[in-house]
Structure 1
Amino acid sequence: MKISFLIHTIYGIGGTIRTTLNLAEELAGGHEIEIVSVFRHRDVPLFDIDPRITVVPLVDTRPNSPAREKDHPDHRTPAALFPRSEARYGEYSALTDRRVREHYAASDADVVIGTRPGLVAYTARFAPPGAVTIGQEHMSHNHHSEALREEMRPHLAALDAFVTVSEGDAAVWRARMPLPDTRVLAVPNSVPAPAVAPSDLSRPVVVAAGRLSREKQYEVLIRAFAKVVAVHPEWTLRICGAGAEKERLRRRVQKHLLSNHVLLMGPRSPIDPEWVKGSVAVSTSRHESFGMTLVEAMRNGLPVISTDCDYGPREIVRDGEDGILVPVGKADAVAGALLALIEDEGLRRKMGAAAARNSRRFDPAPVARRYADLFAELGAGSPARRARTATAPAVALASAAAAPPALAPAAPPAAPRPAPGRAFEPVADCVAEDDGSLTVTVVAPASAVLTHPGLRLVCVRTGGPDPAETRIYPFGPDGAATVPADDDFAEGQWLCAADHPGGARRTALLTRSVDQRGALGAERRLTPGAGVRHRVPYRRGPRHQLALRSWVRPVHAEAGDIRRSGSRLTLEGRVLGPAAPADGAELTLRRRGGPEEEIAFPAVRDGARGFRAVIHGEAPAARQLTAHDVWEVWLRCAPDRDPVRVARLLDDVVDKSDVFVYPDALTHKRRPLLLARRVLRRLLGREQRLVKVSLGYDGDNGLVLRLTDRPPG
């Protein structure tokens, strides 16, 4: 049987894409599967796609696409066959109308599944005669406007089945929009078993994940976490995801003085290695048709806290058993639930175990069986359905939009992605162990080590003085190679490859997952007085090649909390290695990319190895040369010691430049002037030039101070 999924784009990241891939991969075990992606906006999908699945992009909108279809004249003509009330109507066009119609006119699919309202309409119109047509509801009845629901009514009535992801939403659809000839039922989304070990629930980390949008109500979570930090300042909140609300959420974090406690991690794929770094998962959504992130967290052994919103969470979370449900929009209730799990380790572990156990009902196998049963009940692939013929689209609407407009000739749809070749290209999982070693295990092809005896893991340094510098480790019979904790890796980037026997051939080592949990305990492993050696494995590039980032510092100043008070920025940190802050210690700013210049501020010793220094924003602002000055931050432990660069290294975040964002200080740019000239400038309004002073990290995780001109007001 051939099953075709019609999706907005398979090249992005989001819940609909994830659940479509989960279901498609499970069905690919016994069926021919294609995913028709209306748009292709990047070269490579962000999610890994099973090679058994054929991807068919229809409209290529990549900025550097040879087809340049974003500028196609028909793509500038509004769609006539896509619902006008649909949220993405503005992205669709006469070109998408035609490409979808032409694809399915030549299709032999037995089942066509539309994954959003507008694509459900396309499915009803364009599916091949005889194909079973199914619409999926990944939002909910109440989420859609009345205008869209009315516009969708004839399309839904023409389907064989309409599938929601919760029983509650299915009941609402049946009650408010009776569809006599369409089966309306609920089938939950599926979440596969994680490729990483479950969380041990020992780290003081709360994790949230999802699109950064207003409906997720992260501002409620941030307010709640401020109450948690007031009692337990050692805990941090990590929010994984991308979206339009990112900058607004950053401002919220800064407003609540939580820059040292709330991290916006950006999109993470796969997400499982992020869940297992935490001990509690939380969702504060206003609406949630299902709750994919809740199931993902539970499958990784985390107890969950969720708002009791319509409709999915209450069908996923068993309140008091594997998680806690709280009222929508109530920061105090969220904070109370967080504190309950933070302060009661026994409860946290009991709920985490129940979460892992109960979430198995969302495994892809039983969910796919429910879809397969539905296909069979609707006669998909049967001789009777194959024999059906028609001379019109699957639904003929008595409206002007039913007749497609005449379109200018267009290029044919992009060809399906070719099946992967037979070249040997191993895929591995990598685990950063608690002792600092790395375990790299080949997981695909399953017979890699048996069919390639003598296979070796090779780590090659890139960009160093010796480009041939390598470290080599054999894969054992179990497919695993170990990189010992005490092996010497020079500071910099290292790429990993698989070396064939005799070194005759070397191929990139791709990754399925990278478990970085062990990197979070880096400081606990350090030998007193021995400096810093730290490695973090990660996925690099669009093909997700395994890579390592190594830092080696004989003496290191690790940046800690950063706080703002007026135009002053206070930095706390600690020195690691054969040195410690002493009397006369100084924090030094060094200008980058301009005339050599330094500005020194006294650093106060704080405990055995800690230091604290206050940066007065007026000092670098008075020496500003460009609209975007950058100063590196160094620490001189004593007057007779060489300064060391202040950086933040000892965790799992490879690039901190966009994750740790601290409050900006504002000051005025004042230059030394004669009194009369200063008075004149003040009268003319030229004296009060504002300068934004901010601390952050560069691409090497070194701490830098940035000055940016900001007009008054």
Structure 2
Amino acid sequence: MKISFLIHTIYGIGGTIRTTLNLAEELAGRHEVEIVSVFRHRDEPLFAIDPRVTVVPLIDTRPSSPTNEKQHELHLTPAEDFPKNEARYKEYSALTDRRVRDHYSRSDADVVIGTRPGLVAYVARYAPEGAVLIGQEHMTHNHHKPALRAEMAEWLAKLDAFVTVSEGDAASWRTHMPLPDTRVLAIPNSVPEPMVAPSDTTGTTVVAAGRLSSEKQYDVLVEAFAEVAAARPDWTLRICGWGNQKDRLRRKIDQLGLYNNVHLMGPRSPIEPEWVKGAIAVSTSRHESFGMTLVEAMRCGLPVVSTDCDYGPREIIKDGEDGLLVPVGDKAAVARALLTLIDDPDLRRRMGAAARANARRFDPGPVAKQYEELFAALGAATERHTTASARDPQEAPAGGRHDEPPVADAVAAPDGAVTVTLLTPREGARLVAGGHTFPFDAAGGATIPPGTEFAEGVWPCELETPADRGADPTRIPLATRAVDQRGAMYAAARQPATATPVRHLVPYTRGGTLTLRSWVRPVHAEVGAIHIRDRAVTLTARLYGASAAPGASAALLLRRRGDQPLELTFPATPLDDGALRFTVPLAAPADVQHAAHDVWDLWLRHAPDAEPARVARILDDVVEKGSLQPYPGTDLLKKQPLRLVRAAARRITGRPPERVTVKVFFSAADDLVLNVVDKPIERTGQ
């Protein structure tokens, strides 16, 4: 049969997009499947899409596209057929009405599925005659405003089935909005088997993922983690996602002094390589219709701490067996649950194993079967279309075509090796990166041994086949499916303290291409915790590639860049664990400010006559830390000649005092840098 999904956009990141793709790709093995994306706002989807699934974009809103239709006359005219109380109503128009209607007027789909309220209304209006009409509820009955529920009643009544993602929500719809001619049932979202090995739960990282929006209550999570960090300062929280709450969360993290422990990682796709870096997953949502992230984390072998919100979590997590449920909004309960798992590695391991086993019920196979049984029960035609299994095998084989661009997975091992595996092996192929070549074996795997002598820098990975070799060989960039970086998190532990040079190699995706980031330093100072308080920055650093001289001869050097170089020196305090601690009064670089923007590099001199080592953070899995591990700035009065005279003049004129902001941050090479920048004067109104 032919199955058509109608979605707002397939080109972004979100739970509805993920679950639509999971279901569509499973169904594509037996049916003809299309995804009709009302909008196309970027060139390529952020999620990989199975080539057996046809994607049909209707309206181009890409800013740089010559076919951008944002200013189309009809797109500037309000929609008439899209529900006015729908949250995205303002994004729809007479043009969306027309394009959806025109597409389905020519469609021979046997089943049409709308994936949000407004699109359910479109399905009820425009789907081809004789098709089975299905609406999906990816939120909950209680989430929608009464005005929208009232507006949707007419369209829901025209459906053959209305599918929620939890039994609790299905019951709520049946109770509060009876639909005598529409079958209301629950079918959960599906989550496929991860493409990376599961977590062993032995790390010190807690992972959360989802939109940075108010309903996710990340503020509760951050406040709870303040209690966790106070008790277990070596544990960190990583929050993956984007949204309108980012700046608010950043401010809370800084206010609580959690910038060493809580990191906003931005959107991550695929998410599985991030889950498996964790030992525990956490969710503090106010409400969840289902909880895709919970199932994703469980499939990756993580025990989950989640709020017991309506409706999904309690239908996914078996409290005390594969996770812990806590009251909504109770930060103390969240902290207690996290500490329970942090302090009991055996419990984490047992719950992680149970989570992985229990989450298999959400595999796309069983979920797709429920949908197929629903289609059949509703009378969907089954003989009008060619199924995928009966197509010409050269058309779109499951493993990909030989002439498709090469795609690979990459894994960073704890010993420093990197393994690259082609999804479609190619005989005689070689991996080429940074001037080195590594042969692929018959299974499509190539291993870069630990300690391979890459120069420091960024090295794209390319594929070279026997046919491409010659005086001027042709090489093809390697695209990525999944890059498992968790082995890189152990770089500091495996690095011999005095071995030189210090090497670290991390695979990552850059511009869609598998890339290697290599660091090579004769001597290196790995920065640890950084604290900004009392108008000073205090940091710890651990030396690699050399030993610090005994006594107090080690020092931190601040070196100013530019045409007026200057060096400031700050003594080290040796710590019991072998690290060194330094304190820099922020007035020191501020008081010698030369330009409106001074930049200072940080170096560690470990012995009086030794070449200093760059202070950086390179021995982990995060390649570009600048935006992911920021530190708050400190405002100081600007030191100027004739300060007393200037102060008197300001009092007379009412002009505010001039200030500078002093801040530490990581450069593009992950070196620690300090800058002193003039703060703009805030002008008051007359």
Category of TM-score, reference length = shorter chain = over 0.9
Q: Is the 8 A contact 1:628 1:707 kept in 2?
A: yes
Shift of 1:636: 2.8
Shift of 1:203: 0.4
For structure 1, the residue ranges without an aligned partner over 5 or more in a row are 386-416, 462-469
**Which residue of structure 2 aligns with residue 411 of structure 1?**
none
For structure 2, the residue ranges without an aligned partner over 5 or more in a row are 386-395
Whether 1:436 and 2:416 are equivalent positions in the alignment is yes
**Which residue of structure 2 aligns with residue 604 of structure 1?**
573
2:464 equivalent among 474, 494, 499: 499
Higher mean displacement: 550-559 or 678-687: 678-687
2:407 equivalent among 411, 418, 427: 427
2:588 is paired with a residue of what secondary structure?
helix
1:548 equivalent among 512, 516, 519: 516
2:527 equivalent among 538, 559, 576: 559
Q: Is the 8 A contact 2:647 2:657 kept in 1?
A: no
**Which residue of structure 2 aligns with residue 702 of structure 1?**
671
Q: C-alpha deviations, 1:258-285, integer Å up to 9, x for none?
A: 1111111111111111111111111000
Q: How far apart, CA to CA, are the structure 1 residues paired with 2:61 and 2:567?
A: 48
Letter of the structure 1 residue corresponding to residue 508 of structure 2: Y
Letter of the structure 1 residue corresponding to residue 630 of structure 2: V
2:626 is paired with a residue of what secondary structure?
coil
Letter of the structure 2 residue corresponding to residue 442 of structure 1: L
Q: Is the 8 A contact 2:407 2:479 kept in 1?
A: yes
Q: Is the 8 A contact 2:552 2:571 kept in 1?
A: no
Q: Is the 8 A contact 1:566 1:666 kept in 2?
A: no
Whether 1:483 and 2:483 are equivalent positions in the alignment is no
Shift of 1:612: 2.0
2:25 is paired with a residue of what secondary structure?
helix
**Which residue of structure 1 aligns with residue 392 of structure 2?**
none
Q: How far apart, CA to CA, are the structure 2 residues paired with 1:14 and 1:97?
A: 24
Where in structure 2 are the equivalents of 1:23-422 lying within 5 Å?
23-381=23-381
Residue 375 and residue 332 in structure 1: after superposition, are their counterparts in 2 closer, same or farther (change >3 A)?
same
Shift of 1:382: 5.6
| Identity rate, percent | 62
Aligned residues: 664
Q: How far apart, CA to CA, are the structure 2 residues paired with 1:561 and 1:379?
A: 63
Higher mean displacement: 206-215 or 688-697: 688-697
Shift of 1:602: 3.4
Higher mean displacement: 675-684 or 64-73: 675-684
Q: C-alpha deviations, 1:425-452, integer Å up to 9, x for none?
A: 3222111111111111222x3xx34xxx
**Which residue of structure 2 aligns with residue 670 of structure 1?**
639
**Which residue of structure 2 aligns with residue 652 of structure 1?**
621
Q: How far apart, CA to CA, are the structure 2 residues paired with 1:130 and 1:383?
A: 14
Q: How far apart, CA to CA, are the structure 1 residues paired with 2:404 and 2:7?
A: 31
Shift of 1:374: 0.9
Q: Is the 8 A contact 2:548 2:554 kept in 1?
A: no
Q: How far apart, CA to CA, are the structure 1 residues paired with 2:643 and 2:331?
A: 54
Q: How far apart, CA to CA, are the structure 2 residues paired with 1:182 and 1:315?
A: 24
**Which residue of structure 1 aligns with residue 428 of structure 2?**
454
Shift of 1:561: 0.8
**Which residue of structure 2 aligns with residue 517 of structure 1?**
486
Report the aligned-residue RMSD. 2.2
Q: How far apart, CA to CA, are the structure 2 residues paired with 1:285 and 1:594?
A: 52
Letter of the structure 1 residue corresponding to residue 111 of structure 2: V
Residue 384 and residue 25 in structure 1: after superposition, are their counterparts in 2 closer, same or farther (change >3 A)?
closer
Residue 699 and residue 484 in structure 1: after superposition, are their counterparts in 2 closer, same or farther (change >3 A)?
same
Shift of 1:659: 1.0
Residue 499 and residue 112 in structure 1: after superposition, are their counterparts in 2 closer, same or farther (change >3 A)?
same
2:653 equivalent among 655, 659, 684: 684
Q: Is the 8 A contact 1:583 1:638 kept in 2?
A: no
Residue 682 and residue 584 in structure 1: after superposition, are their counterparts in 2 closer, same or farther (change >3 A)?
farther
Q: How far apart, CA to CA, are the structure 1 residues paired with 2:661 and 2:297?
A: 39
Shift of 1:667: 1.1
Whether 1:574 and 2:542 are equivalent positions in the alignment is yes
Q: Is the 8 A contact 2:215 2:287 kept in 1?
A: yes
Q: Is the 8 A contact 2:419 2:445 kept in 1?
A: yes
Q: Is the 8 A contact 1:678 1:687 kept in 2?
A: no
1:143 is paired with a residue of what secondary structure?
coil
Shift of 1:148: 0.6
Q: Is the 8 A contact 1:682 1:688 kept in 2?
A: no
Q: C-alpha deviations, 1:413-432, integer Å up to 9, x for none?
A: xxxx9x99762432221111
2:503 equivalent among 520, 533, 538: 533
1:474 equivalent among 399, 420, 439: 439
Higher mean displacement: 699-708 or 301-310: 699-708
Shift of 1:226: 1.1
TM-score by length of 2: 0.93
Residue 669 and residue 687 in structure 1: after superposition, are their counterparts in 2 closer, same or farther (change >3 A)?
farther
TM-score by length of 1: 0.89
Residue 707 and residue 16 in structure 1: after superposition, are their counterparts in 2 closer, same or farther (change >3 A)?
farther
Q: How far apart, CA to CA, are the structure 1 residues paired with 2:533 and 2:429?
A: 57
Q: How far apart, CA to CA, are the structure 2 residues paired with 1:519 and 1:556?
A: 17
Residue 224 and residue 368 in structure 1: after superposition, are their counterparts in 2 closer, same or farther (change >3 A)?
same
Shift of 1:674: 6.1
**Which residue of structure 2 aligns with residue 20 of structure 1?**
20
Higher mean displacement: 434-443 or 513-522: 434-443
Q: Is the 8 A contact 1:670 1:687 kept in 2?
A: no
